[in-house]
C-alpha cells in the first residue's frame, strides 16, 4: 500500500496478542493496550483507551461491538476512528485476515471522515455504524 505516512493501530485486548503479531509480520505498526496500561488494561474503561488512541492519531481496532451503543465511549471517539470486527467469533488468524483485507478501506475512510465507528466485514468491506 503506497502512502506518505503509514497508519498506526491501537489494538484492544479483546483481539489478542497473537493476532497483533500476525499483522506486525505484514509490516503493520501495532500498539498493544497492554503496552500502555498495567494488567493488560483489565481495569481501564473503554473510553480511556479510546481517548488515548485518538489523541495519538492511531486507528483503533477491536471486536467489542457494544462500544457502538455506549454514549460515553462514543464521545471519547470524538476525533478518531474505531474499526470493529463485524463478527467476534473468528479465529485469531481470521481476525487478522479481516483487517488485512480491509486495510485500504480503513485508511481511505479515516482520510475522508473526521470520526467514525466502523464494522469490518469479510472481503475488505467496512460499514459506517456511527455517526
Cβ–Cβ < 8 Å for 74, 60:
no
For residues 100 and 105, give the distance between their C-alpha atoms in angstroms, rounded to a whole number: 10
Predicted local distance difference test score (pLDDT) of residue 116: 96
For the chain, give the percent of residues with pLDDT over 90: 80
Measured distance CA(110)–CA(60) in Å, rounded: 11
- pLDDT band at residue 3 using 50, 70 and 90 as cut-offs: very low
pTM above 0.85, yes or no: yes
Higher-confidence residue: 4 or 21?
A: 21
Give, as one character, the DSSP assignment of residue 58: P
pLDDT digits (tens, 9 = 90+) for 28-61: 999 999 999 988 788 899 999 999 999 999 999 9
pLDDT of residue 41: 82
- Which fold is adopted by the domain 8-130? Rossmann fold (3.40.50)
Angle 25-31-32 from CA coordinates, rounded to 5°? 100
Rounded to whole angstroms, the Cα distance separating 42 from 21 reads: 20
Tell me the CA distances in angstroms from 131 to 69, 75, 103, 114, one per residue in order.
11, 11, 21, 11
pLDDT at 59: 98
The pLDDT of residue 129? 96
- Strand ranges (DSSP E) for the chain? 8-11, 29-32, 59-62, 81-85, 116-120, 126-130
The kind and range of the H/E element at 25 are: helix 17-25
Interhelix angle 92-112/17-25, rounded to 10 degrees, is 70
CB 91 within 8 A of CB 126: no
Amino acid at each position: 500500500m503506497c502512502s506518505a505516512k503509514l497508519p498506526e493501530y491501537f489494538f484492544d485486548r479483546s483481539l489478542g496478542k497473537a493476532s497483533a503479531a500476525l499483522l506486525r509480520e505484514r509490516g503493520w505498526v501495532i500498539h498493544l493496550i497492554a503496552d500502555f496500561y498495567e494488567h493488560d488494561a483489565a481495569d481501564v474503561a473503554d473510553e480511556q483507551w479510546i481517548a488515548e488512541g485518538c489523541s495519538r492519531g492511531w486507528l483503533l481496532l477491536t471486536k467489542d461491538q457494544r462500544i457502538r451503543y455506549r454514549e460515553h465511549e462514543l464521545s471519547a471517539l470524538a476525533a478518531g476512528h474505531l474499526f470493529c470486527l463485524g463478527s467476534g467469533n473468528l479465529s485469531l488468524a481470521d481476525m487478522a485476515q479481516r483487517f488485512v483485507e480491509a486495510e485500504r478501506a480503513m485508511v481511505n475512510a479515516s482520510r475522508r471522515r473526521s470520526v467514525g465507528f466502523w464494522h469490518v466485514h469479510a472481503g475488505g468491506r467496512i460499514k459506517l455504524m456511527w455517526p
